[in-house]
Amino acid sequence: VPASQAQLPVYDAGVVQGATVTEMVRTFRLRPYRLAEHLERLFRSLRYTRLEIGLSSGQLEQIANDLIAHNGSLLDAGGDLGLNLFVTAGDAPLYQGMTGRRPRPEPTVCVHTFPLPFGLWARRMETGAHLITPSIRQLPAQCCDPQMKCRSRMHYYLADREAQQVEPEAFALLLDLNGNVTETSGANFLMVECGAILSPPMVDTLAGISRATVIDLAAKMGIPFRERTIGVLSAMNAEEAFLAGTPYCLMPVTRLNGVAIGGGRPGPIYRRLLETWSTEVELDIRQQILQGGRSG
C-alpha cells in the first residue's frame, strides 16, 4: 500500500497498549545501513517479549531491501529513506467484537519507509541542539528493559513537553532514578571530556546502533571512548556533546540547562566523527541535511 495509507486497526495491541517492538533503519544513497545489526536487535527484543513472528532475519532483510528498492525509486534526488519495522502483540482480545472473528494470537508485523525529513534537523546541525533535564525520569529496567526498543514512550513525550517549557525547540535529556544522565527521546547522549568520548553506561539506556558506529569510528580515529556514570555537573561542563541517532547520525549539542557547552559551538571531535562517517558512506551527511533544510 502507499505509505500514506499504512494504518493500524484501533483494536491492535500496538494502539491499545503500546505493546510494540520496533527498529528504525536509514539508507545512505538508498542502501540500508547496518541493517543486520538492527535486525539482530529486533530479534533480541522479540525474545524478551516472547513474541514469535514466524519470519527469519533473512526474510525480513529481503522485505526491507525490496521496499527500499521500490520506494527509493520514487524519492527526489539527494534524498534518503528511513525504514521502520515494528511488531505489535496483535489483536487485543477485548475488542474481538469489532472484527467479528476470534482475536488472532499472531503478532502484527509492519514494515514501511518514509523520506528522511532533513528539514527537521537542518538548523540544529548548525547551531546545535539545546537540552534540558526534566523532572520526568527514564523508565527503570525493572519495568521495561531499556535494551528493548519499544513504543511505550509516553514518558519521552512528557519529558519533551517539560523541556519545551523552557525553549520550544529544546529536547529533554532524561535522568535515571538516581539523577544521572541517560538519553534523549530519540538519541544517545555522548560527550567529550579530556579529549575522550564519554557515554553513560548502558544500564538504563538503549545501546544505539549510531552509538556503536561512533565507537567503531572513534577506534579507527584513535579517540578514546569510555562508559562512565555521568552526573549533571559533568555534562554541563563537557568540552563537547552530541547526540547519536539513526536518522541524522550525529547532532551537536551546544547548550544544557541554559549553559553553553563547548563555547556554544559544535566541537572538533564532533566534526571529525561526522566527516569520517561521511567518507565511509560516500555521502556528505551534514551537507545532505543542510540542503534538505533549504529545500524543505
Restricted to residues 100-119, the positions that interact with a copy of itself (CB under 8 A) are 100, 110, 112, 114-117
* Smallest separation, CB 110 to a copy of itself (Å): 6
Q: What does the DSSP assignment read for 31-50? A: EESSHHHHHHHHHHHHHHHT
Restricted to residues 170-189, the positions that interact with a copy of itself (CB under 8 A) are: 175, 177-180, 186
233 binds a copy of itself (CB under 8 A): yes
Is residue 111 within 8 Å of residue 88, measured between CB atoms? no
How far is CA 221 from each of CA 114, 196, 201, 217, 286, rounded to the nearest angstrom? 33, 12, 22, 6, 19
| Closer residue to a copy of itself (CB): 95 or 225 | 95
What's the closest the beta carbon of residue 105 comes to a copy of itself, in angstroms? 11
For a copy of itself (CB under 8 A), the number of binding residues is: 91
Single-letter code of the amino acid located at 198: L
Rule CB under 8 A: say whether 151 interacts with a copy of itself. Answer: yes
Q: Which is nearer to a copy of itself, 112 or 272 (CB)?
A: 112
Q: Is 98 an interacting residue with respect to a copy of itself (CB under 8 A)?
A: yes
The span from the CA of 109 to the CA of 101, in Å, is: 19
Q: Which of 232, 281, 283, 290 binds a copy of itself (CB under 8 A)?
A: 232
Rounded to an integer, what distance in angstroms lies between the CA atom of residue 45 and that of residue 20?
10
Q: Give the position of cell 579517540.
A: 223
CB of 133 to a copy of itself, least distance (A): 4
CB atoms closer than 10 angstroms to residue 50: 7
Q: CB-wise, 9 or 61, nearer to a copy of itself? A: 9
Between residues 82 and 290, which has the closer beta carbon with respect to a copy of itself?
A: 82
To a copy of itself, the closest distance from the beta carbon of 26 in angstroms equals 11
Q: How crowded is residue 56: how many other Cβ atoms within 10 Å of its Cβ?
A: 11
By the rule CB under 8 A, 259 interacts with a copy of itself: yes
Q: Hey, which residues does 165 pair with through a beta bridge?
A: none
- Give the residue, chosen from 155, 188, 190, 270, that forms a contact with a copy of itself under the rule CB under 8 A: 155
Distance CA 56, CA 43 (A): 9
Minimum gap (Å) between residue 227 Cβ and a copy of itself: 9
Is position 8 an interface residue for a copy of itself (rule: CB under 8 A)?
yes
The CA distance from 173 to 253, in Å, is: 11
* Nearer of residues 258 and 279 to a copy of itself, judged by Cβ: 258
Which position among 146, 208, 252, 293 is part of the footprint of a copy of itself (CB under 8 A)?
Answer: 146
What cell was used for 167?
525553549
Q: Please state, in angstroms and rounded to a whole number, the distance separating the CA atoms of residues 270 and 221.
A: 12
Nearest-angstrom CA–CA distance, 213 and 207: 11
Interface with a copy of itself includes 291 (CB under 8 A)?
Answer: no
